[in-house]
Structure 1
Amino acid sequence: MRARLRRFSLTKAVPLTISRGTSRGVERVLVEIEHDGTTGQGESGGFDTGHRRFSTDEVAAELDALLPRLERPDGLGRPHDPSERQALQPLLAGLSPPARCAIDLALHDWWGRRLGQPLWRLWGLNRQACAPTSVTLGLGTVEQVRARLVSWQEQLDARPRRVKLKLGSPDGADHDRALVQAVAAALAGFPGAELQVDANGGWDLPTAQSLIPWLAQQGVVLVEQPLPALKDPEADAAAFAALDLHCPIPLVADESCWDLQDLLRLAPHVDGVNIKLLKTGGLSEAWLMAQTARRLGLDLMLGCYSDSSLLNGAAAQLLPLVRWPDLDSHLNLVDDPFSGPERDGDLLTPSTRPGLGQPAVETAAADGAPDGPYPPGPPPC
């Protein structure tokens, strides 16, 4: 088994502002695992949830230390085999979630490519059961937010059926109210369109308790992560429990929910959780969380950070299980080197191609080739 690590950059067409700041672009890492003529790919990078932060340099350093171990024989002198993911788990257990994500995705991609099937088909999912994705409106002035909604409509060549509005403005609750009223008025001309809001932990408890009933009156269909995520799991769950009593619309946890343990901790107090592969450490944990959430009657959101089409294509393998898809980051890139998932307006579906559904990136064959960004792929959607 051979393993390689490369870096590439992603630049947003429109910078995204949330309650914690503005993002214009990111640097990402690509892991490639090759065995018996088949190559699997996985993406990762740094991200910040307010209470936990990982830099791309830190993630790359973890992977640089791990990859040579994947190429060496195991303790019994046998070569590692990417088809035996269980045997590789001890090597991955100590990794941070984003570092583990890159390896986990590459192993899943290798498995699907080896079998010649996309993951959703290997899992027995119904590709026709996907719901439209939301598109994101970042914080800004009322005029900027209205203009972004218009640009999304032009890009999709269709009226968005689901819009996620970022709130938690540093300008205060009155500005949040003005944004909601402006977007709700604009969506009044879009029959059946849903308005979601995401505070990214930008409210305190009294603000959330006063705003959420008002949001319901404005026709908002869900509120995501109204309160800051807390490092103390019990205090974090208690904050959601206090808010749940005042929440007439679905309450969704994002920054507070990373893995199955968090899902079980929050399940009594929320209506849904937002699964993101960089938080879960890849598809292995995400699949387990999705199955458990459905058994517990929790709805799922499937989200992203500043992810390319490769990582969003990996997440899209779970779309048939998801009520609220939120995979729009790759649609806001000017230099995405990848091309999946498939899209018709605002409806994303997992690719029918093997593995994660992303054609293998051409890598330099000559030894000593530079590790620069990959050549650009098709123009962004």
Structure 2
Amino acid sequence: MELRFEIRQLQLKETFSIAYGNYNKREALLIELSHQNCKGYGECVAIDYYQINLQSFVLKLKEIQIQVEAQKIIHPKDFFNFLLNLNLHPFLLSALDCAYWDLFGKLENKSFIELNNLSAENLVESSITISVGEIDHQIEKINKSKWNKFKVKCKGLNKDHVEKLLQLPQNIALDSNASFTDEDCIWLQENVEVEKFSYLEQPRPIGNYNILKKENFANWMADEDCQNIDSLEELIPYYKSINIKLMKCGGLTPALEMIKKARELNYKIMIGCMTESSVGISAGSVLTGLVDYADLDGANLISNDYASGNFVKDGKIILSSKPGLGIELK
């Protein structure tokens, strides 16, 4: 097996604004695993509020390259156990895990769906993100869109803006990126109208969720508070829903286990994404038959997508019929 990697730049179609800041581009680390003329791809991206340094990942890949390339072709779950011994950051672990699933499926001539006996029917629709901005401009974007589901970013709570969003006929969720106060959360979860929002994501900074009450009207969804399977038990009293992102939890292999446990604990589940190319979105898309929500708009927000595979069109998840994760570089 051969390992290759390179840093690429993702350009946003327009300035993207969230409570953490504004950005026009993201750096992505593209990983390629190849064997017998088959190539599998994985990806992770530099997210500043996660303190991700892709150069450190490159150094780590150079350090472990001989070990990775010496591995025989084994089942992806066994390969993941090998990766666990290498002390990798979850973002890098995810890129390698996804690349191997893509490679293994191509070698076996089977899709990820077939390899895991998953359904390709009844896939949930993805939302598209509306970045922070003037409320009338946000509503204008929603009304002009062909998508059916929207995640509206906000920086702090403006009750008048909430009232305007609640009047819309579309399926709306809120994501404050941890910018709500305790008082904001109390007002929201005690307001019966807030039930109209499909979910309210990561209202408070990491670890500051004690004010949340899952039995009230707000469908609180944990994002940064829910990093991996170990987070699930502790969050039960506070969150009804969780956002699983492959980069946070370490890839497709742990995501499957996380979904299983989250179901046992009666969580609603979303498959989410960062700003990603179709490499990352192809991986997340294969899990959309197992969850309640999807937020896989990352590749739709960039202007220089360098891959094809599974994709999202106006919110609909379109799975490739090709083996593995169906990823090909353009």
In the superposition, the TM-score normalised over structure 1's length comes to: 0.80
Q: What is the total number of aligned residue pairs between the two structures?
A: 328
State the alpha-carbon separation in 1 of the partners of residues 73 and 94 from structure 2.
15
Match of 1:372 in 2: none
How far off its partner does 1:137 sit? 0.9
Distance 1:246-1:202 versus aligned 2 partners, 3 A rule: farther
State the alpha-carbon separation in 2 of the partners of residues 267 and 112 from structure 1.
35
1:114-146, Cα deviation, whole Å (9 max, x unpaired): 111111222111111211111111111123313
How far off its partner does 1:148 sit? 2.7
Match of 1:164 in 2: 151
State the alpha-carbon separation in 1 of the partners of residues 151 and 299 from structure 2.
16
State the alpha-carbon separation in 2 of the partners of residues 195 and 306 from structure 1.
20
Q: Structure 1, unaligned stretches of length 5 or more?
A: 72-78, 230-235, 362-376
CA contact (8 A) 1:139 1:166 kept: yes
RMSD, aligned α-carbons: 2.1
How far off its partner does 1:214 sit? 3.8
Q: Secondary structure at the match of 2:198?
A: strand
1:296-352, Cα deviation, whole Å (9 max, x unpaired): 221111111111111011011100011110001111111001123244532113322
How far off its partner does 1:205 sit? 1.6
Match of 1:149 in 2: 142
State the alpha-carbon separation in 1 of the partners of residues 318 and 237 from structure 2.
31
CA contact (8 A) 1:130 1:349 kept: no
Q: Structure 2, unaligned stretches of length 5 or more?
A: none
Q: Secondary structure at the match of 2:209?
A: helix
State the alpha-carbon separation in 2 of the partners of residues 58 and 296 from structure 1.
36
How far off its partner does 1:178 sit? 3.4
Matched, 1:332 2:288: no
Match of 2:242 in 1: 273
State the alpha-carbon separation in 1 of the partners of residues 303 and 143 from structure 2.
18
Distance 1:125-1:218 versus aligned 2 partners, 3 A rule: closer
CA contact (8 A) 1:319 1:349 kept: no
How far off its partner does 1:147 sit? 3.4
Match of 1:226 in 2: 203
Match of 1:199 in 2: 176
Match of 2:64 in 1: 66
Which amino acid counterpart does residue 34 of structure 2 have in structure 1? E
Q: Secondary structure at the match of 2:286?
A: helix
How far off its partner does 1:88 sit? 5.9
The aligned runs of 1:4-43 (5 Å cut-off) are: 4-43=4-43
CA contact (8 A) 1:208 1:243 kept: yes
State the alpha-carbon separation in 1 of the partners of residues 184 and 320 from structure 2.
42
Percent identity of paired positions between Structure 1 and Structure 2: 25
Distance 1:216-1:16 versus aligned 2 partners, 3 A rule: farther
In the superposition, the TM-score normalised over structure 2's length comes to: 0.92
Match of 1:89 in 2: 81
CA contact (8 A) 1:82 1:107 kept: no
